[in-house]
Structure 1
């Protein structure tokens, strides 16, 4: 009888633990790694915008220490790799804080499996879609 009681108590304790109880900026393996730009969305102003495939070598590498580097400008929707950027990211509020010059607004992101969508502050919808490659 004691063995059953201890087993039930152990199961209840395991179920009641929640990873959201951890404090601070929790870095997850969901974002850590290298992501390559695969598509972009730029709405013309009527809500009809859709993601369109792009051919680009632009990548972002997210490190486990909360920093990132990119061979392109993550501050805008461009597909070029002419301006490298770096900064930090926060997994608690899903934001990227890039060194974008005089205006450094947080850029939001969302991850679904191996796809990351980065949303920019625009009058109309504008986003970049990345695929995890490493």
Structure 2
């Protein structure tokens, strides 16, 4: 009787465990270095420009993201460490939202959301701005 009870307890524990990491695409986890930036000056005329910068984003298995630069804005500066969290979109394994900590998004937007997606092994990060603001990152 004890063995049967023990088996049911173990089975119950195993079945009740779930993994939130199952949605995280393993290709997202790791270090990404910025390679191109687009800060559209208006009228949709902006294009991505290749840049040299040490700015990186590090996506971790526990849904934490860190950077050696600002997560709050589309910049190439790599001397202002920041962090936040990220989540994967409901029906995707390659796109989601970054929620940086310590940003000052303003009264109309108390929680800054930055959208991202992986296309053809390139990480696109879309920053909120009036025109188009985005950056491309390559996996290290």
TM-score (norm 2): 0.73
Taking the aligned partners of 2:89 and 2:124, their CA distance within structure 1 comes to 16
Q: Residue 55 of structure 2: which of 58, 62, 82 is its match?
A: 58
Gaps of 5+ in 2: 1-17, 91-95, 106-110
The answer to whether structure 1 residue 100 and structure 2 residue 97 are counterparts is no
Per-residue deviation, residues 67-96 of structure 1 (Å, max 9, x unmatched): 111111111111011211111110125000
TM-score (norm 1): 0.76
The answer to whether structure 1 residue 82 and structure 2 residue 83 are counterparts is no
Per-residue deviation, residues 45-88 of structure 1 (Å, max 9, x unmatched): 12111100010000011011111111111111110112111111
Q: Residues 123 and 132 from structure 1, CA distance in 2 versus in 1: closer, same or farther, beyond 3 angstroms?
A: same
The structural deviation recorded for 1:101 is 2.8
Q: Residue 127 of structure 1: which of 116, 134, 139 is its match?
A: 134
Taking the aligned partners of 2:87 and 2:27, their CA distance within structure 1 comes to 12
What is residue 3 of structure 2 aligned with on the other side? none
The structural deviation recorded for 1:120 is 0.9
Q: Per the alignment, in what secondary structure is the counterpart of residue 128 of structure 1? A: strand
Q: Is contact 1:27–1:65 with CA below 8 Å preserved after alignment?
A: no
The structural deviation recorded for 1:100 is 3.4
Mapping of residues 5-24 of structure 1, within 5 Å: none
Taking the aligned partners of 2:97 and 2:24, their CA distance within structure 1 comes to 12
Task: Tell me how many residue pairs correspond in the alignment.
Answer: 112
- Structure 1 runs (4+) greater than 4 angstroms displaced: 22-25
Gaps of 5+ in 1: 1-21
Q: CA RMSD in A?
A: 1.8
Q: Residue 117 of structure 2: which of 110, 117, 124 is its match?
A: 110
